[in-house]
Each structure stands twice: as structure tokens, then as C-alpha cells.
Amino acid sequence: MSGQQVVTKPNRPKPDYKLGKIYRITNPNNTKYYIGSTILSLEKRLEQHTRAKASFDKGNKSAKKLASFELLGEGCNIELLKNYPCKNRTALQKEEGELIRNHKENITNFFVAGVSLHDWFKAYGVMKMIKKNFK
């Protein structure tokens, strides 16, 4: 090889969607909640949300704002809504999306999982709202 290094990714286990679950993050200081899905333990998933918020709060430009941020902090809780063993991420996100649609009241989710951005805009009348407000 001519001075180039070969970088290999560490061996990661394949995601096991048989461990799929749908969860809710709540906070007693807020009436809203966040619905999400994961194949991780709930504790690990809450830790990921918390780390993402800390990174965003520190001004990390690559950190994305998550819909769960307003619920994180003292008193927040993550709870299992349902176990959902399935074959792949698409199936898990589709089920998550169904729960989001069925619990529209008081959720902080920006988007409905398992729904394309185009369908989301269409279903929630976002394009009409944009056209009305930006004429």
C-alpha cells in the first residue's frame, strides 16, 4: 500500500429487532410526552436522549434538537408502552407512528415515525399553513 491507512469499522452486532419496544418519556412538571422506539434497554435509550440534549445545550453544531428535550431533566421518566418484536427498523417505526397518531394530544414529537416527510406535510396541512403565512 502506498502510505494509505485502511480504516475498518468495529464489528458491530446486527440490530436485533426482536427486542423492539415502544416507549414514552414523561416529566411530572409537564403535561406533554414523547413517544419513541428502540431495540436498546429503556435506560440506555434515555441516556442517549440525555447525552444528545447535553451536547445540543453546549452548542455542538452537529447535535440535532430532539422533540424529547423539553421533557428531560429532573423527574423525567421513561416507560414501556409495548414490546414490539419485529423484523426490521421500518416495521418498528411504523408501529411507533401508529401510537403517535393515536395519541396526538400532548405529544412533543416533531414528526410521525414511519411516515414520509411528504405524507406528513400532506396529513397535517403544513403546506397550506406555509403558503398562508408566507404570501
Q: Which are the contacts of 109, defined by CB distance < 8 A and separation ≥ 6?
A: 34, 35, 67, 100
- Which residue bears the cell 485502511? 6
pTM of the model: 0.76
The amino acid present at 122, given as its one-letter code, is K
Coil, strand or helix: which one is 124? coil
| DSSP 8-state secondary structure symbol assigned to residue 107 | B
Q: Where are the domains of the chain?
A: 17-133
| Residue-wise pLDDT tens digits, 54-105 | 999 998 877 778 888 889 988 999 999 999 999 999 999 999 999 988 887 7
The domain 17-133: what is its CATH number? 3.40.1440.10
> Model confidence over 14-66: pLDDT tens digits?
999 999 999 999 999 988 999 999 999 999 999 999 999 999 999 887 777 88
Quote the Cα angle for 37-57-50, to 5°. 30
Single-letter amino acid code for the residue at 52? A
